């Protein structure tokens, strides 16, 4: 009898405990949901007086729910009108450079409540077939956003494609342009590494980096190799400066974005005339990945794809020295034009 009573008591205590834990979890979730949905993020300055043009904080529930449905095309016109959402042309574009950290920069800027990113590279201005489809086709590739949010897209091929500066100028002559760069030799090797991985997945052979980067006939740097050409930043920037003043460009240090992202992001916030919203809370170092990951709130975290941070192959030190010597005068000119100096060898 006593044994049955003890068993019954334990069962009741277990049920009470379960109910208490369930209630606590519900309250935490409810409070978190309300916290995400209710606060407003005032965007000062260019976004109008406080109270008139306030932008709701992009809550996890909204960001991954309603906007996801819009992107899939499942939303009705009434839902779009009700939430006052639009697809607008970008007010800023990350134009390059390839393997400089464009994806990391875009994802990190997306932490800001006034920034909405295009999920995929659109390749509108560098692709003749896409460009022929017209500006409305481009607009429809943009995410839904509030009117006073900034839409940003990134297509790193824009920086090196000859026709792009004029095409973007015709769309918006006052657009803000972001260029993220890394030490040129490191960037070239990273570029090679990505192509090499693609070849290996298809069981194809590929030349060693040294053979591509150095002309075997002259033993000098092979400027016909695309990975080398892309790293001559000043040559490409000079073409852009025929259409846009240097004040419309912001140079991001891609090497620093890896090791110390917050100061770089704060500089971008200032360039885009955004109130400071990204903080150290939003960035945490993942020791396993060796990179900073993103924290949107207490529930939602995100790390970059596993393909980021590939291990570079061993490259002959004499080739690295030759490349750095080759890039040096171009780097000095790049510092002079942009007003930003990097500690590149």
- What size, in residues, is the chain? 345
Q: Among 171, 167, 151, 169, which Cα is nearest to 272's?
A: 151
How far, in Å, CA of 224 to CA of 278, rounded? 41
The response to whether 48 counts as a known ligand-binding position is no
Residue 206, SS3? coil
| Annotation says 91 is catalytic | no
Secondary structure tally for the chain: helices H, strands E: 15, 12
The response to whether 21 counts as a known ligand-binding position is no
The response to whether 99 counts as a known ligand-binding position is yes
How far, in Å, CA of 260 to CA of 237, rounded? 25
What does residue 153 show for φ and ψ, rounded to 5 degrees? -125, 165
The response to whether 100 counts as a known ligand-binding position is yes
The response to whether 298 counts as a known ligand-binding position is no
CB 59 within 8 A of CB 37: yes
CB 233 within 8 A of CB 184: yes
The response to whether 119 counts as a known ligand-binding position is no
Rg (CA), the chain: 25
The response to whether 182 counts as a known ligand-binding position is yes
The response to whether 312 counts as a known ligand-binding position is yes
Reported for 221-228, long-range contacts at CB under 8 A and 24+ positions apart, including other chains, are 221/322, 221/323, 221/326, 226/191, 227/188, 227/189, 227/191, 227/192, 227/195, 228/188, 228/323
C-alpha to C-alpha distances, 139 to 60, 83, 89, 188, nearest whole angstrom? 25, 19, 5, 33
The response to whether 310 counts as a known ligand-binding position is yes
Please name the residues in contact with 110: beta carbons below 8 A apart, sequence gap of 6 or more: 116, 117, 152
Which of 12, 77, 99, 199 does the annotation list as catalytic? 99
CB 256 within 8 A of CB 213: no
The response to whether 103 counts as a known ligand-binding position is yes
The response to whether 146 counts as a known ligand-binding position is no
Active site residues: 99
Q: Name the binding residues for 3'-phosphoadenylyl sulfate.
A: 99-103, 182, 190, 292, 308-312
Q: Name the binding residues.
A: 99-103, 182, 190, 292, 308-312
């Amino acid at each position: 009898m006593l044994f049955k009573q003890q068993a019954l008591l334990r069962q009741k205590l277990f049920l009470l405990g379960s109910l208490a834990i369930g209630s606590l979890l519900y309250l935490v979730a409810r409070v978190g949901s309300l916290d995400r949905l209710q606060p407003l993020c005032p965007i000062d300055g260019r976004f109008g007086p406080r109270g008139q043009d306030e932008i709701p904080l992009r809550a996890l529930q909204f960001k991954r729910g309603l906007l996801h449905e819009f992107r899939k095309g499942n939303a009705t016109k009434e839902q779009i009108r009700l939430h006052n959402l639009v697809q607008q042309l970008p007010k800023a574009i990350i134009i390059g450079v390839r393997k400089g950290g464009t994806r990391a920069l875009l994802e990190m800027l997306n932490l800001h409540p006034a920034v909405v990113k295009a999920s995929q590279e659109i390749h509108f201005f560098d692709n003749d077939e896409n460009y022929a489809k017209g500006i409305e086709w481009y607009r429809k590739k943009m995410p839904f956003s509030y009117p006073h949010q900034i839409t940003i897209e990134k297509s790193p091929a824009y920086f090196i494609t000859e026709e792009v500066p004029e095409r973007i100028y015709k769309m918006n002559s006052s657009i803000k342009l972001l260029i993220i760069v890394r030490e040129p030799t490191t960037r070239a090797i990273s570029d090679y590494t990505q192509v090499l991985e693609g070849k290996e997945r298809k069981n194809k052979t590929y030349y060693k980096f040294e053979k591509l980067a150095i002309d075997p006939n002259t033993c000098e740097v092979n400027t016909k190799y695309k990975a080398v050409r892309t790293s001559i930043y000043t040559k490409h920037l000079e073409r852009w400066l025929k259409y846009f003043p240097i004040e419309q460009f912001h140079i991001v240090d891609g090497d620093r974005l890896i090791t110390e992202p917050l100061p770089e992001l704060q500089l971008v916030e200032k360039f885009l005339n955004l109130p400071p919203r990204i903080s150290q809370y939003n960035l945490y170092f993942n020791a396993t990945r060796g990179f900073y990951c993103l924290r949107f709130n207490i529930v939602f975290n995100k790390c970059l794809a596993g393909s980021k941070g590939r291990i570079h192959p061993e490259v002959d030190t004499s080739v690295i020295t030759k490349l750095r010597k080759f890039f040096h005068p171009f780097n000095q000119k790049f510092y002079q034009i942009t007003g930003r100096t990097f500690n590149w060898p």
